[in-house]
Structure formats: C-alpha cells, structure tokens
A = this chain, B = another copy of it.
Amino acid sequence: MTAKRRIEIFSAGCAVCNEVVEQVKSMACPSCDITVLDMHEQSIAARAKVLGIKSLPAVVIDGKLADCCANRGIDESVLRAAGVGSPI
C-alpha cells in the first residue's frame, strides 16, 4: 500500500472553516489523504482538546498540529488591554 500523509482538518462547518477545507484540498497532492472532522462531535472535540486546538479551523498533519494552527485562541491580557472587564 502506497504511503500517505494523513491530513486532518478540524472544522465547525462554518464559512471560515469551509474556505480552509477547500484551500487545503487545492494544495494537496495524491500522497495527501484529507479528512474533515466535525467539531460538533464530542469525540472529535475531545481529541482537539488533547491536540491543544484553541481555534478553528485547525490542520493536523500525521497527528501533529500545524505550527500555523498552534498556540492560538484568545489572550486574556490582550482582551483586558482592549477594555474587557473595565467599567466605563
């Protein structure tokens, strides 16, 4: 069986995620085996947590979260600096 690169895209099925699914598909080659995983499924959400996924869409290549999708999510200090939590 020919070796394949396992590419998983964690998606919530919205426009932003769907656009990335198409973008990754357009980049792929015959060695790239792409699976789109639905974050609304509990088992997928649990795996996303283990992988450290904090924002979507997220691309995982051969079990590793791509660098451009890692260390994402909100930053409380940034939100506070923008005013969140400060009485007007």
Contacts and interface: CB of A to CB of B under 8 A. Distances in A.
Contacts of A27: 76, 79-80, 84-85
Contacts of A40: 13-14
A50 interface: no
Choose among A14, A30, A73 the residue with the greatest number of B CB atoms under 10 Å from its CB: A14
B85 A48 contact: no
B56 A82 contact: no
Interface in A39-66: 39-40, 42, 45, 48-49, 53-57, 59, 61-62, 64, 66
A78 B83 contact: no
- The 3 lowest CB-CB distance pairs between A and B, nearest first, are A12-B12, A68-B75, A15-B45
